[in-house]
Each structure stands twice: as C-alpha cells, then as structure tokens.
A and B are shown apart, each in its own frame.
Chain A
Amino acid sequence: MASDSIALPRTEEAGRGLVEVLHDWVVTVDHKKLGLMYILYSLVFLVIGGIEATIIRLQLIVPHNHLVSPQVFNRMMTMHGTTMIFFVAMPILFGFGNYLVPLMIGARDMAFPRLNAFSFWLTAFGGLLLYFSFIGGTGLYGAGSAPDVGWWAYAPLTARAFSKGHSTDFWTIAVLVSGFGSIGTAVNFIATIISMRCPGMTLNRMPLLAWLNLVMAGLVLVTISPLTAAQIMLMLDRYLGAHFFDTQAGGSAAIWMHFFWIFGHPEVYVLIIPCFAFVSEVIPVFSRKPIFGYPVMVGATVAIGFVSLSVWAHHMFTIGMVSYANAFFTFSTMVVGIPTGIKIFNWIGTMWGGKLIFKAPMLFCIGFLFQFLIAGLTGIMLGAAPFDWQLGNSYFVVAHFHYVIVGGILFALFAAFYYWFPKMSGRMYSEPLAKLHFWLFLIGFHLTFDLMHIPGLLGMPRRIYTYEPGRGWDELNLLITVGVFFQIAGVLVFVGNLLWSLWKGRDAGNDPWDAWTLEWSTSSPPPEYNFAQIPAVRSRRPLWDLKHPEDPDWKYE
C-alpha cells in the first residue's frame, strides 16, 4: 500500500504569515478546507448549544429554582434547539459530506466549488445573525433579546402582537439564510455525486456514504424549501402586514404547523441518513466484512426518504385532526419502521461472522445501534396517535428525540470523527482517551436520557422553566442533570484528545484501518487535488481488490 503515493509536505503553509494563511482559508474553494471549516464552525456552536443545554438543566435541577428567569429560560431552550439543528447538526454533516464525498467517488472537488464556498459562508453568516440577536434583538421596544418562541416558532406566538422587538426576525432570517446555504450545498452534492464519479464507479458501486448523501441532498431540496417558503411568509406577516398566520384576520395557526413539520420531520432523516452512512462505512471495516445487503441498504434508505415525506402530521396528533387523518399518519409513521428495521438488521448481519475490532469508531457505532434501536421503538409508541395524546409535548418526547439526536446522530458523529481523524489530520488520535470519552459519554447519556422518559409519563410537559415539588419529578430531574456533567466531561476529553493528537499524535499513514474505500488510497491529509491520477474502479471496494488480487470483489458483482 501507499508505496508510491504523492508525498507532500505536511503543511504547505509552513513559514507563511498568519494573515496569509487566514486569507487562504477565507477565500478557499477546496472541498476539504470547506469541510473542515464546516466541522470547526459546528463544533464551536456545539459548545455554545451545550452551554445553553446546561443552563436549562441547572435551572430544572430542583423545583422552584431561581437560577434564571422564565424569559431567559425560554430564550435558552429556543436557542438550544435552533442552534443544535441548524448550526450544529446540519453543518457538521455537510462538513463531513463535503470532505468525504469527492474523495470517496474519486473526484478532485465538488461539482461547483465556488457555490460550495458561498453556501458555507451563508450558513456561517446565518449562525452569526442568530447570535447577534442577543445584542440587536431588543429593537426600539426594549422587549426581549434572543428569540424565545421555541424552535418550531408556532404561530401566532411569532406575530408582532406576541413577539415584539426583533428577536423573532433574527430567528427567521438566520434560519432562512442558512436554509439557502443548505439548498446550495444539496444541489452541489447531487451534481457531484451524479456527474463527478471516477471511471468505473457506477451507481451500483458507489460507497454507501455517497449514496446516502445523495438521498440526504434530495431530501434537503424538498424539505428545506417548504421551510424557506414558510419563513418568507412569516417575514411578509411581520414586515408587510400580511395575514398568513394572523388568526385575527382569518389566518390559520395550524397551517404554520403543517408547513413547519413538512420540513421538520424529514429534517430528522436529513440528519440521520448521513449518520447511517458513517455507520455503514465503519462497521464493515471493523468487522472485516463487506456491508451486508448493499442493494437493500440503498433501497431502504430511498424508501425512508420517500415515506418520511408523508409522516409530518404525527407531530400534530394533538391539534384536533379528524380521526382518519390521525389513523393515516399513524400508519405512515409506523411504515417508516420497516426500512429502518431492515437497516439495523443489515448492520448486525455485517457484524455476524466477522472479526470485530473494538476501536473507538466501532464502539461508538455499537452505542449508536443500541440507542437507535430504542429511539426507533419509542418512536413507534409516539406514532400510535392515542399514545401520543399522552406522550406528545411531554418529557417523553424530549427523551425520545434526544435519543435520536444524541444517542444516534452524535454517537455516529463521534464514530466518524475518530474514523476519519487520521485521514483529515494525518495523525492518530489517542485510543485510551477515545475509550474514556466513550464510556463517560455513554454513562452520562444514559443517566440523562433514560431517566428523562419517566417525568413525561408522570405528566411533566416540555418547555417549562420550573415545576411544582411533589409530583414525582424531583429526584428524576436531579439525576438527569447529574448525567449532564458526565457528558460534559466526555466532550472535554474528546476535544482534548483532538487537540493533543493534532499536535503530538503519531503519524497515521495513508490507511491506518486497512480500509477499502478510495479516500484511504491517497495521502493523509490528502493533497489539494486529492488524487495525482484519477482512479478507476471495478467494484464497491477498490482497495480490497487491490489488497486481495486473488479474490477481488468484482468477481462477485
């Protein structure tokens, strides 16, 4: 392996001034640099969103707590949700996609490098706008600062009458601007994956990561756009006196819910599908077997994408829809469980009969499988409309979607971080520290989010800044908050590990995991042009073919 790869100096920037280096990063159109900027930017917001979550949990640690006022609490929960979805999860996944997709399909860059940079800066600008609301949101009314309407911003709470000042405007524009960035990135992903594949890489031979990012990008196009449309309507309402969501003038509050959740539910799949992709790359390599049922995995993902477009109103079972609508959305919601189940079985099938190596990426993937299984099952409970009449908008739902987002998405992201860190930095991370991170985070996660289901069953609604003692919620909330500290400790170990490894980690070489996809064929980190010569492939695992010329994959396809 790697005998005649193009050896590049580790840092081309060595010996240049800071200004010059920064200028390089700001004007870059290179997909790898943009990918890293997306990731770094998201990590910064992850810390900010985490601080907001910590404030929320500290306020709820005991009943009748006075740590923050209700106004501050409502801002924190709104900013936490908006930040984590729009400025952490989406950009960090775009970042990984940006970095990996061209490398894995044997391309030198994205289809539209300048659009790529533009999309990144739009997203970045959106995040800054959102946080500028702490300063600029007050407006001339002296009311509010950061938005406090919840991350769904249900009408008519967003109307001028209920949301004075500019906080909601900042929220709308921030989400709108970053939405344009997302659409740009999705267009780019699709064009890249369709039009930039290296010779021999038919759709049937693409790594699952490319396939799943293709599905994700398609979903972004059809789901972010409704959100964009709804945000435009909200702005027209707030600025030009239109009446889309003005209940005083015959407008409908429910139609905002529909528009929002037509975006909001597929958004979950926009976030989780790239995570499926990470898991589908990591598990085979650490099981030493190809992915089980590749065509079925692709088909299941496409099916999830399509079905997820018809389930949105399961977020609205309590708004008083007619019974057959409730029944329809119960059915479509449960149907999503089938392709999702297929994926879980295929991952276990991949591990079955393999030789499992429990390095950090694999540990996080197994954590992902376990937690995603539970998240899926609580999802089925919430999908049964009458059960949702009890569970909806309670802490049970909060626990459920954090199981998806933290237990599923974040665990898969940590797996991706450890798996591709050697490729991105050229250095190995510290395995003991990574394992410490895993265990700390796992304990913290389960302490917080397992217990969080129960107050919901005992009638505790979400988004309350305080609660009455003696309702059976007290001890649970205390333990939930304790779990947060384990998670914080885990994240600190993670960040420390990354920084230490960047500086001191041992050289990773091109292919530290003995993996099979094209990104491992080039140097670590890859040169600006990725491949000295555009590769050509004959199977799904080109590097396997190369390492096992006696038994190549293409004989079986």
Chain B
Amino acid sequence: MFLGLGVMLAGSLLAAAGLYADSSASPRQVSNIFKPLSTPAGEIHRLSLFVLGVTGAIFVVVFSLLVYAVVKFRKRGDDDGSEPPQVYGSNSLELAWTVIPGLIVLVLFLATARVIHAIQDAPQPPSAVEVTVIGHQFWWEFRYPALGVVTANELHVPVSDPAHPRPTYLTLLSADTDHSFWVPQLNGKTDLIPNRVNHMWIDPYQTGMFLGQCAQYCGTQHAKMLLRVYVDSPEEFDRWVEREKKPAQMNDAVSAGRRIFETTACLNCHAVSGTVANGLFGPDLTHLMSRETLASGAALNTHANLRLWIHDPEALKPGSLMPAMNLNDQDLDALVAYLETLK
C-alpha cells in the first residue's frame, strides 16, 4: 500500500515538475497559460493560482485523512478476528463536512464571478483596434474594417502600453463549422460559431510572436488550423498597416504567372486586390509574401513549400479544401514566381 501511494504521489510530483521544466526551454514557443502577457490572461492566471491554492489545500487535507486511515486501520497480523466497533454515523461530523465545503464553494464562486465580470464586461476604449475574425475550414480570416486591411492566419496587433492602453477587440464569426480562437498567453479561448457573433479582447504588453491554434474540433484538418499573433511596436504596426492597405504589386516580369492565376480556378477562391481575382472562400493573397507561413501555419512560406502547396496540397495538409491545381512544371514555376511578387 505504501508503495502504491508512493507511486501516486511521485506521479503527481512528476506532473508538477514537468510543467516548469518544459516551459523553460523556449519561452516564445511554449504557450504556457501560467506565463500570461495580456490583461485577461493575467486575470485568469491570478484566479487560477487562487483556485489551485484552495484545491491544493483540500487535496492535502483529504489525502492525509485517506493515508492515515489506510495505514492506521489496516488489519494487523495479530488480529483476534473480532469485528471492530460498529459505528453508523455522526450527525455533527456530517454537518461539519457539509458546511465547511459550502463556505469554500462560496468563496471560490465570488472570486470567480469577479474575474468573469472583469474580463467579459470590460468596456471597449475608443483607442481599441477592431478586428473581425472569421473562422474557415481550416484557416483564419482577419479583417480590420476601420483600417481597410484583410489578411489571413497571422494576426498583427499593436502592443498595449499599460499607461496608454491600446487593446485589440476581436469580433468572432464563422463561415462554416465551429472553431475556437485560442492564444493561451493572451487570453482564454472563445468559440467562432456560425450564425452567432462573439467577442473577446487582448492587450498584449510585450512585443513578439505568440502561438495559438483552433481549439474547437472543426473537421479533418482541425489540427493544422494554427494561429500566430504578432504583437508589433506602434511604429511597426503602423508600417504594417500601410503596407497591407496597398493594392497588389504589378510586375510585368511575372505577367505569365499572373495570367495563369487569373485564368485558372485560383480566382474562384482567392482575392488579389487590383486584379479580377476576388474569391472569398480562401485566404486573401494580396500580400501573401508578407506572411511567414502557408496553409494556416502548416508550413513555412518558402519557395519550395509554396510550389508544393500549389502542386499537391495533400502533401502539406491532407484534407484541406485547397485543390491540387494540376499545372505543368512551366506554368507552376510561373505562377509561383508571380505569387512571390505579392509582397
């Protein structure tokens, strides 16, 4: 029995130790909910420490009682074979272990209700950046209605200085099935549900790139519906907006590739501003090369990956809704060359 409890305890300790050992490896890649970098995530973090403290105390008390009972009252080798005293219950004890947990529940509830209110009912300041997030199978569309920017999969937001908060308010919609927007270090998740409008906000106080991904099963490629949030300095953010607002570059050197783009099925789904392509089913490609990844984070945006993605999407992201374009090598090279000018 001791051995058993030892294993149980060791398991739990190992679990606790693993949490911190792993998270120290590369802070930007590990999206640890205990390393919040935004007000809502910070509020949740503080609440979680409180809840962990209370539940931890309950665990220690109950676990000690259990271990004591198991050790103290085990049948001894020299037992006389008689039955122990038959005890049927105790009203005062029952009352105690009803009332005390009741009080604990009340405290936990009040602490939780405060945080729910603080996060959910926070008024939107006029300085806020507004972004409409639309979930698709299996990628993210980001629209900045006030800034005239449309992009995909990589959300750019300005850093929010606590002295001059500039939070980003997200309006969450879905074009098809349910999705969920989750970047653990910035906020908890909120679902994107068709025929329903949801909201959430973030105010990251550190620049950098933060990873997240879809957290609501949405179909075959739910796993590769990855998400990146780039928190830029105010100047970088403004530069990024300026660049993204411009129509696509027109480079005559790649007109062959552009012709292929505009005469094949590409334009049914994709839009490139300033051209006839205005499809809405797939990501906007106007500034494709300003993004670091392809296929919603499934691959880095390199020449080889871009070519492979057009030629055989199944190789990068099996089950994605992007069809293989069946182009010959010459056309494929021309098309990739064109796309690579969309900076």
Contacts and interface: CB of A to CB of B under 8 A. Distances in A.
Chains A and B touch each other in the complex, with CB atoms below 8 Å apart: yes
A197 B231 CA distance: 69
A171 B25 CA distance: 43
A74 B5 CA distance: 36
Interface stretch (A5-13, A39-47, A378-386): A378-386
Contact of A330 (B41, B109, B190): B109
A459 B94 contact: no
Interface in B228-243: none
Interface in B1-17: 1, 4-5, 7-8, 11-12, 14-15
A466 B116 contact: no
Contact of B55 (A322, A327, A349, A380): A380
Given A70-B220, A253-B178, A468-B226, A356 B70 contact: yes
A380 to B, nearest CB: 6
B254 interface: no
A330 B112 contact: yes
A215 B113 CA distance: 31
Nearest to B189: A318
Interface stretch (B82-90, B144-152, B153-161): B82-90
B31 A471 contact: yes
Nearest to A317: B188
Given A70-B220, A320-B196, A451-B18, A387 B34 contact: no
B28 to A, nearest CB: 10
Contacts of B217: 74, 150, 154, 157, 462-463
B51 A320 contact: no
Among B48, B112, B213, B219, max chain A CB count under 10 A is at: B112
A217 B17 CA distance: 43
A446 interface: yes
A296 interface: yes
Contact of B219 (A162, A327, A450, A454): A162
A523 to B, nearest CB: 25
Interface string B36-62: 000001011001100110010011001
What is the size category of the interface that chain A forms with chain B? 35 or more
Contacts of B47: 384, 386-387
A366 B70 contact: yes
Given A338-B102, A450-B15, A156 B177 contact: yes
Interface string A534-557: 000000000000001001010010
Interface string A494-509: 0000000000000000
Contacts of B63: 370, 373
Given A253-B196, A384-B112, A296 B48 contact: no
Contact of A353 (B85, B111, B184, B198): B85
B66 A348 contact: yes
Interface stretch (B71-79, B125-133, B302-310, B323-331): B71-79
Interface in A384-398: 384-394
A461 to B, nearest CB: 4
A182 interface: no
Nearest to A514: B83
Contact of B194 (A253, A294, A443): A253
Interface size class of B (residues with CB under 8 A): 35 or more
A155 B218 CA distance: 10
Contact of B218 (A157, A334, A446): A157
Interface stretch (A219-227, A285-293, A422-430): A285-293
Contacts of B224: 466
Interface string A313-347: 00000111011001100110011011001101110
B101 A389 contact: no
A458 B51 contact: no
Given A326-B116, A358-B74, A476-B18, A289 B178 contact: no
Contacts of A326: 116, 120
A377 B58 contact: yes
Contacts of A548: 83
Given A292-B87, A390-B189, A377 B59 contact: yes
A199 interface: no
Contacts of A148: 220
Given A253-B178, A386-B116, A461 B213 contact: yes
A351 B263 CA distance: 79
Contact of A345 (B97, B318, B319): B97
Contacts of B102: 338
Contacts of A290: 86-88
Interface stretch (A25-33, A86-94, A232-240, A244-252): A244-252
B296 interface: no
A346 B8 CA distance: 22
A435 to B, nearest CB: 10
B209 interface: no
A319 to B, nearest CB: 5
B112 A327 contact: yes
A110 interface: no
B8 A342 contact: no
B214 A353 contact: no
A154 B178 contact: yes
Nearest to A470: B29
Interface string A452-473: 0110011101111111101110
A510 to B, nearest CB: 19
Interface in B139-184: 172, 176-178, 180, 182, 184
Contact of A390 (B88, B172, B184, B216): B184
A450 B7 CA distance: 11
B96 to A, nearest CB: 9
Nearest to B108: A334
A369 B63 CA distance: 9
Contact of B32 (A318, A322, A459): A459
A352 interface: yes
A168 to B, nearest CB: 12
Contact of B51 (A384, A457, A465, A476): A384
Contacts of B23: 458, 472
A286 to B, nearest CB: 9
Contacts of B58: 377
A74 B224 CA distance: 13
Contact of A293 (B75, B89, B121, B213): B89
B315 to A, nearest CB: 11
Among B89, B111, B172, B182, residue most surrounded by chain A Cβ atoms (within 10 Å): B89
Nearest 4 pairs of A and B residues by beta carbon: A389-B188, A459-B31, A464-B223, A320-B198
28 contacts: A253-B195, A292-B89, A293-B93, A318-B190, A326-B120, A330-B116, A331-B109, A338-B98, A345-B93, A346-B89, A348-B62, A349-B89, A351-B70, A353-B84, A353-B87, A355-B83, A370-B8, A373-B59, A446-B8, A450-B14, A458-B23, A459-B182, A459-B184, A461-B214, A463-B223, A470-B26, A471-B29, A472-B23
Interface of A: 69-71, 74, 148, 150, 154-157, 162, 247, 250-254, 287-290, 292-296, 318-320, 322-323, 326-327, 330-331, 334-335, 337-338, 341-342, 344-346, 348-349, 351-358, 363, 366-367, 369-370, 373-374, 377-378, 380-381, 384-394, 439, 442-443, 446-447, 450-451, 453-454, 457-459, 461-468, 470-472, 475-476, 548, 551, 553, 556
Given A342-B101, A393-B182, 8 more contacts: A70-B220, A74-B217, A254-B196, A386-B43, A389-B189, A459-B213, A465-B223, A470-B25
